[in-house]
Structure 1
């Protein structure tokens, strides 16, 4: 390796260890500009991309590392990790097996091969039984679950309309790291599913002239930071409504508490809480990044299916005062999509590799004009011209989306027509970012006002605690 490139690589490695992955990416890229023949540099940059959830870019760099040095095992390891993160399990297994041939005594590699084989077999089995199923499996029947007298937590009546008192008791229960009874969990899921199924895929919100709406981004199981949002900005009510823009679960270790809290407020009054489906309200993501494992641990081995069904019923977009469109990911990747097209979109499914549903959950903005390859490997990226044209065609002032960590918790791009909001401060206990929420008021001409906040302390429970063990990755070179 060129000495100058070696120096830049060492600097990047040091920065990487401080968890400043964006800066590490810059330094690895500079090193590659100096010496583009080093498999190590591409492999290390691939790892940094993995840390920033840019799985498509990580996959590309891993492939380049393998091209430069077909015997470099970390290249295969990185490519396997990227494919795992994207749900491409068969491809990941092939690369893990390549590494295993070289390092048959490595316990980490051996475990990954075993785990990956298990997932591939499980997926094959699921596909086989899915082809035989004619009807959707029902949610767990809450009426068959009894509540013993020893249960001291909050209780719901048969109407399943949580009161403010219930919600306050629920917060006390969750902060004490105790659980809501399973009967009430399944009761909430059952009633919510009935109601969500009747809603369109895109919902209109009308904020009165003297009112406001608070838009929050990803919370990712960071329950104590969610409680802090309500402390800073007030308890949800019809006069103080919130829109939480997807990715309630995964990564953080309190996704169940986050989602049940938000769902409880929605059941209390749909005009005090609006919920958008994010890319992490999907089966693939939940299997890998922790929510499936969390639900199995906290609720029961077969409970996740009920959450999966409810997630498929969540709306995927909101239109505020006919002038602001909110979705988790980004804009459709085909031209001339009208708001009515989104409103009529069939959302009751898992998103595929492409299509408008996938774009709304996965797409990202870019600085360059036009559309570009997704850094995530799913959907694509859209430039300022795409945003401007979409807003013009649909009579919008701007769009709000989430889906990306931002240093201040928010970002305004594309000439103020594309806002990103992210509400998980110090993401995964390691990124050091602020969280933020946006305040939107008609009397301020709907101009969003960002409000930044820091992470708060939480009990000693590591993020990714319930994630698939396959998501651990090898170190730097």
Structure 2
């Protein structure tokens, strides 16, 4: 390598490091890639690009880059560290433990590594323990809840549900408005009411198919929102801009309601209570973060336990398994969290037959609908996330046309402008968590569809919120991943 090339490579590496420091992770990744074109055998560049991929949640790509760094330099401790981070993020505990142990052998004095190893070992043991205890006839946690034993104390000052003529508690608009006001003031509703909301919503969700058809009547509109990720005060911003859900103002929230942000409980209770109040006009899609493995890592389980109980966390988990996998609007638009099931070439008819009441598998149509991503290149390749596939414009067009559809609307990815129209209009991404994790600087957005399924986009900036950092409830040392 010439001195000029070496100098240029170091310059690109420095620009990548500065972009990373400024939290422009995609830009950092680009600089590292350009540097690797000059110095392909530089293990540190591969390790740095792996770190950027982790920040972008491209965990499969991070594992590949870290593995290349290890191949080039088997004594590069940070490469094992990065690969362990990525494996942990995917819930691959055994692989994470292996790599953290390798990293500790090379860097024995790193306390952060030891904390992460302890977390990975704890999760690996928990998974094995739960598997050993599981029985086919185990009664669901939702059926073990005894609502009548949860007395609402006279001293409780929050909103109260009213009883109907048969003595059953019911959701009213007055209660919902009181609940939102309490949440704004960082107050919770009584756990009796929280359980009522979850179980009433679960009963409604159970009656739905895996793929739901939605009709926008002439003169009507439907608002579609993307990931909200526990950013409750940004959800309120959406309602301020677009109005509360109602029977004349329907909404569809496209998955990833929880994790990352530290008001996930408030988000999901708000969405579920509107599902109870307007069951035909509040639609909820399952995202890849409505899953036990993600909720354990990224904070939702810890948040529910901190704000309510471990039993409630299990009831939420069971409820998530009943969320529909997608919606078809006016026989024209598929709304799904990740993308259409193109790798397995499943049809809409196949999706309608799926038994969705389970944790997401690692392949097949359900997995793809939660995890797939679009790409600019033609064809289809394994997803950089490490789960699902990335599909090109030709793949999207072919699949949509085979199903008689015009467009897929999906979420699952941060976009600087809050949305992106790709694949010549066949693929639209919508993301509704502005300044994601208080650090990405992106806008949020939502879509309004009319009866002709013409999309209209609204962008918005992040709302002010109380001083609580993202990932505040994440598992142990993992709260430092962001």
2:35 and 2:156 mapped to 1: Cα distance? Answer: 60
Q: CA deviation at 1:99?
A: 1.4
1:207 and 1:42 mapped to 2: Cα distance? Answer: 49
What corresponds to 2:291 in structure 1?
282
Q: 1:74-473 residue pairs with structure 2 within 5 A?
A: 74-131=78-135, 133-139=137-143, 140-158=145-163, 159-334=168-343, 336-442=345-451, 445-471=452-478
Match of 2:69 among 65, 72, 85: 65
Q: CA deviation at 1:254?
A: 0.2
Q: CA deviation at 1:91?
A: 0.6
For 1:312-370, what per-residue CA distance to the aligned partner results, in whole angstroms no more than 9, with x for missing partners? 00111111111111000101134552212111211000011101111111111111222
Relative to the length of structure 1, the TM-score reads 0.96
1:300 and 1:137 mapped to 2: Cα distance? Answer: 12
1:229 and 1:210 mapped to 2: Cα distance? Answer: 22
Residues 473 and 301 of structure 1: CA distance in aligned 2, closer, same or farther (over 3 Å): closer
Q: CA deviation at 1:133?
A: 4.8
For the residue of structure 1 that corresponds to 2:390, the secondary structure is: strand
1:228 and 1:134 mapped to 2: Cα distance? Answer: 42
Q: CA deviation at 1:108?
A: 1.4
Residues 292 and 472 of structure 1: CA distance in aligned 2, closer, same or farther (over 3 Å): closer
Judge conservation of contact 1:237–1:271 (CA < 8 Å) in 2: no
CA RMSD of aligned residues (A): 1.5
Q: CA deviation at 1:113?
A: 1.8
- Deviant stretches of 4+, over 4 Å: 131-135, 472-475
Alignment coverage as a number of residue pairs: 473
Q: CA deviation at 1:3?
A: 2.6
Residues 386 and 311 of structure 1: CA distance in aligned 2, closer, same or farther (over 3 Å): same
For the residue of structure 2 that corresponds to 1:450, the secondary structure is: strand
List runs of 5+ in structure 1 lacking aligned partners: none
For 1:171-213, what per-residue CA distance to the aligned partner results, in whole angstroms no more than 9, with x for missing partners? 1100110011000111111122222111101111111110000
Q: CA deviation at 1:474?
A: 8.2
Relative to the length of structure 2, the TM-score reads 0.95
Residues 173 and 474 of structure 1: CA distance in aligned 2, closer, same or farther (over 3 Å): closer
Q: CA deviation at 1:52?
A: 0.5
Moved more, 75-84 or 381-390: 381-390
